[in-house]
């Protein structure tokens, strides 16, 4: 009975019963009663934002983002403009093989001398000469029969079209990187928000346990430090998310607009095809390889054009019209008025056959220049072939490693969350330390952030791989 007596003579429960009763009281206060310093949702930094319309945010998928970006990307639009120019060059090259027809109207006024009807310029037959000519011109040379300029223009157009695809594939990588960076940063923001709220709850718990004599002041200090660190991390996550949104907005809108959200599809499965299929696709539809091959054909056309300068050319001009002293179908000739009125319309044909003889080596120099460019294009083609093969292996290995990391970090994030839950329960039961709780919180945040990063990395790796292989 003496063990149940207090120093004042009252009843007192034994030590083990007191501890059990105190722990039950703490748990009751923790889960059933309103807490002192109850957790309040943290407020993000008041960051500056571009002014926009107060409308519901636009929801964008990755395909929506890609379609929008194509309209505003300067590289894609420049490549499209180059292709349009190349198409017109091809049309002009074809049209240059056809005869040209022009019309000219001239008046030749010669000062008279009062004696001769032709006036002072003996090359004319009168002081008034009128010309109304329709000219047809056709030139026959090696290009007319071999169509070298047409083939060159076709190769240039093929290069321009291939560069459009190169620019579009590069844009896909850029948009994919910015899109999934925003999606990952949104996840990190949510993780930081949860971690800050968890740190606040843990700080409140340590303070209550210190007041109840169940925790040391060191636990409160550790919890306070953890809370401040998580608060700073939350602010940094908010800043990173808004910066990612700005970077994506620059690509997607004609005016800077942040009033949009992206669909987070990081958890949707994306398969990685077998390497043999990707290798075959790279051989069939790689735009860099196609551009290099067409550039070599273009350089070969330049060599043939330079060599054709050694060959003769033949030109023919057919003219129909009038060259008379009066602008009329019939008139008298000033130098032979006695012949009476004569018809004015008529034709004449001029043929010109030119054989190149000597030009101080200019033609030979142009051939050497064209051959040098052709050799450079051949070297560029072999380099492109090697680079494509190297990129195929490198990008595939990157995608493969990222996919394996996704699977591993998904499990790690789940285990870290479960570990944090168990450590918190053990701490509430007095079986764990504050250092273990803080470490578990940090591990859970780090693994969740790493999981978001590697998911975005996998999507970017797939987009980068498709620059070599095309869509799959």
413-429: pLDDT as tens digits: 999 999 999 998 998 88
Question: Cβ of 46: how many Cβ atoms within 10 Å?
Answer: 6
pLDDT of 294: 95
List, in sequence order, every residue forming a beta bridge with 132; answer none if it has no partner.
105, 322
Helix 148-211 and helix 15-31: axis angle, to 10°?
A: 140
pLDDT of 52: 61
Tell me if 401 is assigned to some domain.
yes
pLDDT of 90: 95
pLDDT of 244: 96
Tell me if 355 is assigned to some domain.
no
Domain around 235: 163-311+372-472
User: The domain spanning residue 176 has which CATH number?
Assistant: 1.20.1600.10
Whether 121 contacts 335, CB under 8 Å: no
Percent of the chain with pLDDT over 70: 89
Tell me if 86 is assigned to some domain.
no
Please name the residues in contact with 374: beta carbons below 8 A apart, sequence gap of 6 or more: 296, 299, 300, 302, 303
Q: Which of 429, 101, 159, 445 is nearest to 300 (CA)?
A: 159
Which ranges in 97-147 belong to alpha helices (H)?
Answer: 142-146
Taking CA atoms, 350 is separated from 96, 138, 139, 316, 345, in Å, by 20, 11, 12, 6, 17
Number of domains in the chain: 1
Mean pLDDT, rounded, of the chain: 88
Q: How confident is the model at residue 269 (pLDDT cuts 50, 70, 90)?
A: confident
pLDDT digits 0-9 by tens, 149-158: 999 999 999 9
Q: How confident is the model at residue 43 (pLDDT cuts 50, 70, 90)?
A: low
Q: Which of 152, 195, 465, 126 is nearest to 294 (CA)?
A: 152
pLDDT of 239: 95
pLDDT digits 0-9 by tens, 79-88: 999 999 999 9
pLDDT of 263: 94
pLDDT of 140: 93
pLDDT of 44: 62
pLDDT digits 0-9 by tens, 69-116: 999 999 999 999 999 999 999 999 999 999 999 999 999 998 888 777
Taking CA atoms, 352 is separated from 11, 135, 358, in Å, by 134, 15, 18
| pLDDT at position 256 over 80 | yes
pLDDT of 22: 46
Tell me if 68 is assigned to some domain.
no
Per DSSP, 360 falls in state T
Query: What pTM was computed for the model?
Result: 0.79
pLDDT digits 0-9 by tens, 203-247: 999 998 888 888 889 889 999 999 999 999 999 999 999 999 999
- Residue ranges with strand state E in 273-412: 313-324, 330-331, 342-343, 346-354
Query: Hey, what are 85's tokens?
Result: 């120019």
pLDDT digits 0-9 by tens, 158-195: 999 999 999 999 999 999 999 999 999 999 999 999 99
Burial of 236: CB neighbours in 10 Å, binned 0-12, 13-18, 19+: middle
Tell me if 32 is assigned to some domain.
no
pLDDT digits 0-9 by tens, 8-24: 333 344 445 545 444 54
Burial of 71: CB neighbours in 10 Å, binned 0-12, 13-18, 19+: exposed
- Report d(CA 399, CA 428) in Å as an integer: 43
pLDDT digits 0-9 by tens, 278-334: 999 999 989 999 999 999 999 999 999 999 999 999 999 999 999 998 899 998 888
């Amino acid at each position: 009975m003496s063990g149940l007596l207090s120093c004042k003579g009252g009843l007192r429960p034994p030590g083990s019963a007191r501890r059990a009763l105190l722990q039950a009281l703490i748990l009751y206060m923790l889960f059933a009663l309103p807490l002192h310093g109850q957790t309040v949702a943290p407020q993000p930094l008041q960051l500056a934002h571009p002014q926009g319309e107060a409308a519901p945010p636009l929801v964008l998928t990755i395909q929506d983002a890609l379609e929008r970006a194509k309209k505003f990307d300067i590289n894609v639009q420049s490549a499209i403009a180059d292709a349009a120019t190349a198409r017109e060059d091809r049309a002009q090259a074809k049209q240059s093989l056809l005869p040209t027809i022009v019309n000219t109207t001239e008046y030749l006024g010669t000062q008279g001398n009062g004696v001769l009807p032709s006036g002072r310029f003996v090359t004319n037959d009168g002081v008034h000469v009128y010309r109304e000519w329709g000219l047809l011109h056709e030139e026959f040379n090696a290009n007319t029969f071999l169509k070298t300029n047409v083939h060159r223009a076709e190769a240039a157009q093929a290069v321009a079209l291939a560069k459009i695809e190169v620019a579009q594939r590069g844009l896909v990588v850029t948009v994919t990187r910015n899109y999934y960076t925003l999606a990952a940063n949104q996840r990190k923001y949510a993780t930081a928000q949860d971690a800050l709220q968890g740190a606040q709850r843990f700080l409140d718990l340590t303070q209550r346990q210190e007041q109840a004599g169940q925790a040391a002041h060191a636990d409160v200090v550790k919890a306070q430090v953890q809370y401040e660190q998580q608060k700073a991390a939350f602010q940094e996550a908010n800043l990173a998310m808004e910066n990612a949104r700005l970077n994506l907005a620059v690509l997607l809108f004609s005016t800077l607009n942040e009033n949009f959200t992206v669909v987070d599809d990081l958890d949707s499965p994306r398969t990685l095809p077998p390497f043999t299929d990707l290798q075959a696709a790279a051989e069939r539809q790689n735009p860099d390889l196609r551009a290099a091959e067409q550039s070599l054909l273009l350089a070969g056309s330049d060599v043939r054009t330079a060599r054709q300068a050694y060959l003769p050319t033949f030109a023919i001009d057919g003219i129909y019209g009038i060259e008379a002293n009066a602008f009329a179908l019939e008139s008298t000739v000033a130098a032979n008025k006695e012949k009476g009125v004569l018809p004015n319309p008529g034709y004449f044909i001029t043929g010109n056959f030119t054989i190149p003889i000597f030009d101080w080596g200019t033609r030979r120099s142009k051939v050497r220049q064209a051959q040098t460019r052709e050799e450079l294009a051949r070297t560029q083609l072999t380099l492109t072939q090697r680079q494509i093969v190297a990129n195929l292996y490198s990008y595939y290995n990157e995608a493969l490693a990222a996919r394996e990391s996704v699977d591993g970090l998904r499990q790690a994030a789940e285990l870290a969350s479960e570990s944090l839950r168990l450590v918190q329960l053990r701490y509430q039961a007095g079986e764990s330390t504050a250092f273990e709780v803080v470490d578990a919180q940090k591990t859970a945040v780090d693994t969740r952030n790493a999981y978001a990063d590697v998911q975005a990395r996998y999507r970017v790796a797939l987009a980068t791989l498709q620059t070599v292989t095309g869509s799959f």
